[in-house]
Amino acid sequence: MMKNDAYYIRDLVYGVSGSGKTSWWLKVAAYVFATTGKRTRWYLGDGGMQTLIVSGAEEFADIMNYNLWDHPIETAQKIAEGYWPQDPFTPNSKLMPTTNDEWAKIGLCVYEGTTVMADYIMGDRIGGLANRMAKGEVLNNDQSFRIQDGDLKFGGTSRTHYGFAQRRIVDNIERTRALPCHVGWTGHERKVEDDDNKEVWIGPDVAGKVLTTKIGASFGNTIHLHPVKAVVKGTDPVTKKPVDSVQIQRRAYTRTHYDPEAQHFVRFYANTRMPVVLAKEGFMPEWIEPDPLVYYQRLQEARVKAKQMERESFSGVAVTL
């Protein structure tokens, strides 16, 4: 897994809260540190700090709660370019560009994530869009609102603001693709209806519904983490009779799928990029247990297999120039 530095992960893992998004990247970060000695920079945008600390992430990761910084638009762009605060434990500490010597010690950058970064840009921190509306700024003359309660002023956002936030998130994702290390993103789920065929989808949440079925194009692979209720056969410890119990089974879906419990016909977006012939042969299962080491090992094997097939296809072929 990831032995060739020319190949960098640029992937998104999304799902409901508690589905294992952070745990996925924790396993990758621990592996990178164990095999290369390189640390992870963790750009945290929600309340997941305790999860990281309990998991021992500080042994191999440096963590920044970026949503505690003012000026969300600027901050989000700078962290997407790999900037790091002089003091990550002091909000609004100056963000500094990363030097080449520093990059040589970094193996992975994790961004949590598409949903919370969009909320951050849209929100009430100084420089956020709602904060700007509270101060009376106007964006494209679109309707919004602002109210005052006591000495405090509050603002709301409009459709124009959602479009602006969506463009900023896509741009920031593209900026992370230029970083000289592996990059992992997380996102929450959102249900949307396709305007063309009225089909209902669930996909990554990015400031409204427009990007839900499209944002996957900005990543190498998009993995959907989904807890499934599974019936497990067992034996009653008292009566010794066979009994069925319902347990939560965590799954990592590698391609678009329907509800595995067949409760509805909503489609869930996921995508794994590999040669078409290998995909048709089922080289990557529809779902696996949420283990990124297994997933990326399968992708590595697929790349090796694809190169072998390519060499075999050209063997014995005469070429005239």
| 3-class SS letters over 33-44 | HHHHCCEEEEEE
Number of neighbouring beta carbons within 10 Å of residue 209: 18
Task: Read off the pLDDT of residues 271-286 as tens digits, 9 standing for 90 and up.
Answer: 998 877 777 677 888 9
Residue of higher predicted confidence among 213 and 88: 88
Q: What percent of the chain has pLDDT over 70?
A: 86
Question: Is residue 5 predicted with pLDDT exceeding 50?
Answer: no
Q: Identify any residues that bridge with 289 across adjacent strands, giving them in sequence order.
A: none
Per-residue pLDDT of 301-316, as tens digits, reads: 888 887 887 777 766 5
As a whole number, the mean pLDDT across the chain is 84
188: left (phi over 0), alpha (psi -120 to 50) or beta: beta
Q: What is the mean pLDDT of residues 247-266?
A: 82
What's the rounded Cα separation, in Å, for the pair 64 and 142?
34
Give the model's pLDDT for residue 80. Answer: 97
pLDDT at 154: 59
CA distance 215 to 222: 9
User: Residue 262's pLDDT band (boundaries 50, 70, 90)?
Assistant: low
Domains of the chain: 10-220 (3.40.50)
Q: Rounded distance, CA 223 to CA 225, Å? A: 6
Q: How would you classify the pairing of strands 257-258 and 267-268?
A: antiparallel
Specify whether the CB–CB gap between 286 and 257 falls below 8 A. yes
Kindly report which listed range (20-34, 145-159, 192-206) carries the lowest average pLDDT score: 145-159
